[in-house]
Amino acid sequence: MQSLRWEQEITLRRPILVLAFEGWNDAGEAASLAVSYLGRAWRAERLATIDAEQFYDFTSTRPEVALKEDSSREIVWPDVDILGARIPGSHHDLVLVRGIEPQLRWKTFAGLVTEVATCLGAEMAITLGALLADVAHSAPVRVSGASDDRELAERLGLSQPRYEGPTGIVGVLSNALGQCGLPTASFWAAVPHYVHQLTSPKAALALVERASDLLGAPVDAHELRIAARDYERRVDERVADDAEAAAYVAALERQNDPDWGDTPAEDRMPLMDSQSLAAEVERFLEDHRSNE
């Protein structure tokens, strides 16, 4: 049985690939929520799936039982979905890759994702992640960006990654896609570590806005903004009930000034408006195509 199963053919205009996975790379479920929200907002359709059989330990990531309309039961496996969406007003369409971080055969898995990118003619890839950090829930969400592609990093004001240590599937995929000649950038949202157990729509909103800026197409994020305000309110209430926690958050708020305190300059996102950012992406991709 083939692991990559195509369900429909679709013609996309110079698509950009956006990838996010639940698990190690997904503090506060922000990255997986962001990519799912983009799929709903732009009415993405499923193009293919990557079958779970080779890539998951089912004692760790268990399938689920669901009831169908006729009351019969079915097993829902943790397959990875590949979705496509046409984006009005943008030079590019969108391909989304979402699922749970696999436990097994990452090299084979990365090969399938690069096959998807090649088959659909992707021009660029963006990986989304979220990490726990010493940040206040009330502060603007920090989104750091990096790219191994020197020219892309310079165009968008991103850092070139210097991290050494354990990595997750988005790190492996960024490397694999880059080695295949696909320009790849990675964006990470910072999630307050003291509320790590809560889903963070606020961090997801920051990632959605970054992705839509790169695509040069606005996304209706009204639902996420409401959820983000509710998230802040709920955390405010929790913190208010604990004097020690309130003092700690107040200290973080003082630390999180507009200059980001001690955050290295190379880890900050550029202060570029969305139109300028999209234009730089387009110029970079045009130059990249002419050099091939």
* pLDDT at position 266: 36
* pLDDT at position 268: 44
Strand 94-100 relative to strand 16-22: parallel, antiparallel, unpaired?
parallel
Q: How many residues does the chain have?
A: 292
Residue 235: domain span: 4-290
* pLDDT at position 105: 97
* pLDDT at position 191: 95
* pLDDT at position 269: 46
* pLDDT at position 271: 45
Radius of gyration, CA atoms only, the chain: 19
Is pLDDT above 90 for 261?
no
CA 269, CA 149: separation in Å to the nearest integer?
16
* pLDDT at position 96: 98
CA 190, CA 27: separation in Å to the nearest integer?
8
| Residue range 188-208, pLDDT digits in tens | 999 999 988 899 999 999 999
| Residue range 104-141, pLDDT digits in tens | 999 999 999 999 999 999 999 999 999 999 999 999 99
Q: How confident is the model at residue 280 (pLDDT cuts 50, 70, 90)?
A: confident
Q: How confident is the model at residue 262 (pLDDT cuts 50, 70, 90)?
A: very low
Which of 93-97, 102-106, 224-228, 234-238 shows the lowest mean pLDDT across its residues? 234-238
Q: Tell me the whole-structure pTM to 2 decimals.
A: 0.89
Average pLDDT over residues 157-162: 84
Is pLDDT above 50 for 283?
yes
Percent of the chain past pLDDT 70, that is, above it, reads 92
Bigger pLDDT: 36 vs 158: 36
Instruction: Give backbone dihedrals phi and psi of 50, rounded to 5 degrees, phi first.
Output: -105, 115
* pLDDT at position 1: 58
Q: How confident is the model at residue 292 (pLDDT cuts 50, 70, 90)?
A: low
**CATH code, domain with 89:** 3.40.50.10900
Number of domains in the chain: 1
* pLDDT at position 218: 87
* pLDDT at position 272: 60
CA 80, CA 102: separation in Å to the nearest integer?
9
| Residue range 165-183, pLDDT digits in tens | 889 999 999 999 999 999 9
* Helix, strand and coil in the chain, % to nearest 5: 40, 20, 40
| Residue range 29-51, pLDDT digits in tens | 999 999 999 999 999 999 999 99
**Among candidate residues 173, 200, 203, the one with its CA nearest the CA of residue 112:** 173
Is pLDDT above 80 for 264?
no
* pLDDT at position 263: 41
- Asked whether 103 and 60 are in contact (CB, 8 A), the reply is yes
List CB contacts of 117: < 8 A, sequence separation 6 or more.
17, 95, 125, 177, 180, 182
Is pLDDT above 90 for 229?
yes
